[in-house]
Amino acid sequence: MPHHVKKLPIVLLLAVFGGCATYQIGNAALYPPEVQTVYVPMFESVSFRRDLGERLTEAVMKEIEKKTPYKVVSDPNADSVLSGRITQESKRVLIGARTGDPRELQTQITVQVSWTDNRGKMLRPCPEIPLPTALTDALGTGNLVPEAGQSLAVAQQDAINQLAQQIVGLMEKPW
């Protein structure tokens, strides 16, 4: 066996393991390392629809536990606080029938979100859009077709799930 063929596996191992020495593996590399715990108070809501704030809070906490290395805790003195406020909830007709009845509707929920450390300092980067630096808007939508038996509650849950994913996405470190 030629001499250079014997060294090839060793060189490949060094290249593979040596090249990864400066990289972090897993989702922890996406998030600020100084945070281990997150407190998520109940999201406030200006909507007259019941339980939207509670449903969004629950969805955000589940998404944090599922996608991030952080632990959601009930202690306001956690490493960080992720708070939010539903600022708008609306429903509009996308497609109407000739009779004037709606055939397809869309529900839309807008939320302002703030993520701070336990000293009140912002943990996520400032938004590119002209908002106060402590707030970022997130928008979720859900469509429903009443003729197919779909309900507003299901469409709202779709919007809430989209919002939870966007909000947790805001917790990632900037590239």
Each residue of 51-98: pLDDT tens digit? 889 999 999 999 999 999 999 999 999 999 999 988 888 777 767 777
- Whether the model pTM is above 0.75: no
pLDDT tens digit sequence for 29-54: 777 888 999 999 999 988 777 788 99
Strands 37-39 and 71-73: parallel
- pLDDT computed for residue 158 by the predictor: 85
The ranges assigned to domains in the chain are: 32-169
Q: How do residues 108-152 score in pLDDT, each as one tens digit?
A: 888 888 999 888 888 865 444 333 444 455 656 666 566 666 677
pLDDT of residue 110: 87
CA 93 to centroid of chain Cα atoms:
27
> Helix 52-67 vs helix 152-169: angle between axes, to the nearest 10 degrees?
40
32-169: CATH class = alpha beta
pLDDT at 40: 96
Strand pairing category for 37-39 and 80-96: parallel
**Residue 12's pLDDT is what?**
43
Q: What is the structure's pLDDT at 131?
A: 38
